[in-house]
Amino acid sequence: MRRPTLSLRVDQFEYVQLILLAVIVGVLAALGNLGFRKLIELFSWLFRVLEWNALAIGLGGWHRALTPVILLSGGVAILLLDRIFPGDVLGYGFPNFLEMVNLGTARLKRRWIFVKAAGAALSLGAGASVGREGPIAQVGGAIGSTIAQLRKLSPDRAKVLIAAGAGAGIATTFNAPIGGLMFAQEIVLLGHTEIANLTLLIIATFTAVITSRAIVGNSVVFLAPEFVLRSYWEMATYALMGATLGALAAGYIRFFNATEAWFRRLDLPVWLKLEAGLAVVGVIAIWLPQNLSDGYPVINAAMAGEFGIGMLAAMTCAKIFASSVSLGAGAPGGSFGPTFFIGTMAGGLFQRVSAMVIPSLTGPRGSYALVGLGAFLAGTTHAPLTALFLLWEMTHSDTIALPSMIATITALVVARAIETESIDEFRLARAGKKLQIGRERLALTLIPVSAVVTKNVTIVSESTSLSEVLRSAGETAQSTLPVVDSDGIFVGTIVVRDLLSMISGGQELEPLVNAFDICNTHAPTVLLDANLDEASQLMEHEGLDEVPVVERLTRRFLGLVTERQIAQALNRVSVSLSTLATRDQNIYWATGYRVTRLTVPANAAGKTVRQLDPRARFSVTVLAVQDANNPGSGFSPITPDRPLKEGDELIAAGRPQDIRQFTQELESGDTVAAAPVAAHAGGSGKI
């Protein structure tokens, strides 16, 4: 009888590795958050203590008119940082972060770990009306991306680690592990995740909070008041507040993005737009210094009921305007902080008005300010679970559950009815980029151009005469003729229909005209490692049926990718998915069979599937392979004579015990080395 062992299968070992990576990401994200806080404290001391006292602004009177100088000096420091790291510092970068995670390759720049923290810390320290939460999410996401790149994980795994890092950063900021988890799930991953991946998010956020508490204790950002519900009839009042804040959230989304668009259209130098925007914020702070930075202490004061109706109204309007100007002008930072501020002030303002109109149905000030924070957050981000769990973790009160749910959901419904896009997706949607892509586009993002590129195409040399070009155009079914130089480097394209229309129009063509003279040298191209969704979007935008494929560095012409090939690839994927999803097809797995993922060990490197012969020796079928050197390319069918590499991922089907035996043989290498090759030399080539 075989003795039981504690060894793990390859897929189990891989998941254990992912769990360990999630722990590492959580710890590093917590440390990154703590470092970010120290940077904010440092720059706040430099600008709003040291420089503030040097200008004697604290004395009041005419000295307060010097407040804009503080923000202008901060702007100079931000511009210097942007000079060192161009393109990574200025502006509201969270939408770009979401685009890279959900529509891109999920590879973030490693320098973001420092750059995003330093830029936002300068901005907040100088008093720009921005938030810290977006940058810390990007810092945590960059940490997750760095770990994924070091481990050479596939894009889908990298995306989960990025979300784990972002959620861990938010969880550490608010000492709220579940709130950070919901942020990663709802906002970063857009609500799409598997249970196994959700486990990784939980591990990362809770690890981050535990690390933070071990270092700085169980401190909180917001001093939430005790929530008091005087009567269940107040639910109607909370619903009315939710509707009011939902409408305000929709208005803020539009004003925020309109301001940003206005700054982009200004034909002014970047430095001038930034300094002008910060100067405007500084002028507002002359009368309302509470509007500076993210205003966390002011939020705590509002929750304690310290402001009157006039002050609450002024601070609500000032933060809406100042945050839009700050981020629109290019100050680095996030929108969460202003959202918290506006929601708290607007909730407190609603309570004052409601107490005058319907005093019997209105509770204490702090309770409405607190629920207002969550309702406005849900209205602007369209992430109700994040708002609800943040409120619950801030208060640990079960009483707040029902009022907060009513206000939050009402705010979300009203905000979406007015503006369908969240504050982070608005600009992307206007640029034609939908983060919530359909199933077909999602499938196309997983198929590389290299899988469908046609290399046997008709091309012409740049020196080809016009008569030869016309002959080639008449003999080919292509809609475009790629033009290359003597070294095969792509020069441009000749669109056949344009060529024929030019001739039929009676235009005189010189006899010495060649292909280079009539080709479009600025023709759009795609790279071999691009995905089919990118190629499809490019064709739709340019109105083309074919796009040339070129190498990244040399721009050597490699072939064409056509609209027909993309449609065929999508059709094959759709048929495969429908075959697996329906029961009326003649494909059934026998009891005990499963499909699993195997990693090629060092002992099997250099061998081929023909040599391994898994079907004959173990009753295991190898279905596909993912190249270890290019994990982003996805899985593709494997040929019998393709040499395997260490780290290649194999998709194999068979009974669990057979797959285990095959895996053990791969790892041992003994039988592999002795596997005969000649016995299969005349085989059919099937795996």
Is-contact 446 626, C-beta < 8 A? no
Mean local confidence (pLDDT), 300-312: 89
Q: Within 10 A of 589 (CB to CB), how many other CB atoms are there?
A: 10
pLDDT for 323: 93
DSSP symbols for 491-538: EEEEEHHHHHHHHHTT----TT-BHHHHSBTT---EETTSBHHHHHHH
Mean local confidence (pLDDT), 322-340: 91
Mean local confidence (pLDDT), 576-597: 50
Residue 450 pLDDT more than 90?
no
Is-contact 407 375, C-beta < 8 A? yes
Amino acid at 416: R
Q: Which of 138-152, 202-216, 484-498 has the lowest mean pLDDT?
A: 484-498
Give ranges for CATH 3.30.70.1450 in the chain.
594-680
Say which residue the tokens 């091309």 belong to: 459
Residue 656 pLDDT more than 90?
no
> Tell me: the pLDDT tens digits for 125-154?
999 999 888 889 889 989 998 998 888 777
Distance CA 599, CA 581 (A): 27
Q: Which of 85-94, 123-132, 432-441, 535-544 has the lowest mean pLDDT?
A: 432-441
Q: Which of 4-8, 233-237, 325-329, 542-546 has the lowest mean pLDDT?
A: 4-8
Residue 211 pLDDT more than 90?
yes
Residue 634 pLDDT more than 80?
no
Sheet arrangement for strand 480-484:
460-461, 480-484, 490-495
pLDDT for 445: 65
Amino acid at 94: F
Phi, psi of 377 (to 5 degrees): -60, -45
- H-type helices in 266-364, by residue range? 270-287, 296-303, 309-329, 336-357
Which class for 101: exposed (0-12), middle (13-18), buried (19 or more C-beta within 10 A)?
buried
- What's the chain's average pLDDT? 82
Give ranges for CATH 3.10.580.10 in the chain.
444-567
Closest CA to 630 of 144, 154, 59, 138: 154
Higher pLDDT, 4 or 149: 149
In terms of DSSP bridges, do strands 526-527 and 546-550 run parallel, antiparallel, or are they unpaired? parallel
pLDDT for 586: 37
pLDDT for 160: 86
Distance CA 485, CA 577 (A): 43
Q: How far is CA 652 from CA 539, 655, 658, 659, in A?
A: 36, 10, 11, 8
Give the alpha-carbon dihedral of 239, 245, 250, 253, to 10 degrees: -140
Higher pLDDT, 515 or 308: 308
pLDDT for 194: 66
Per DSSP (E only), the strands in 38-130 are: none
pLDDT for 631: 66
Highest mean pLDDT among 209-213, 390-394, 653-657, 663-667: 209-213
pLDDT for 683: 37
> Tell me: the pLDDT tens digits for 361-383?
888 888 899 899 999 999 999 98
User: Under DSSP, is residue 489 helix (H, G, I), strand (E, B) or coil?
Assistant: strand
Three-class HEC string of 394-428 = HHCCCCCHHHHHHHHHHHHHHHHHHCCCCCCCHHH
Is-contact 183 170, C-beta < 8 A? yes
pLDDT class for 50, splitting at 50, 70, 90? very high
Per DSSP (E only), the strands in 56-130 are: none
Tokens standing for residue 522:
């600025």
Q: Would you identify the CATH topology of the domain 17-436?
A: Clc chloride channel (1.10.3080)
pLDDT for 98: 81
DSSP symbols for 543-580: T-SEEEEE-TTT-BEEEEEEHHHHHHHHHHHHHHHHHH
Residue 662 pLDDT more than 90?
no
Residue 515 pLDDT more than 90?
no
Which class for 430: exposed (0-12), middle (13-18), buried (19 or more C-beta within 10 A)?
exposed
Domain 594-680 maps to which CATH number in 3.40.50.800, 3.30.70.1450, 3.40.50.2300, 3.40.140.10? 3.30.70.1450
pLDDT class for 43, splitting at 50, 70, 90? very high
Tell me which CATH code domain 444-567 carries.
3.10.580.10
Residue 7 pLDDT more than 70?
no
Residue 448 pLDDT more than 60?
yes
Q: Which of 82-96, 510-524, 598-612 has the lowest mean pLDDT?
A: 510-524
Tokens standing for residue 167:
């959620």
pLDDT for 431: 64
> Tell me: the pLDDT tens digits for 395-420?
777 788 888 899 999 999 999 999 88
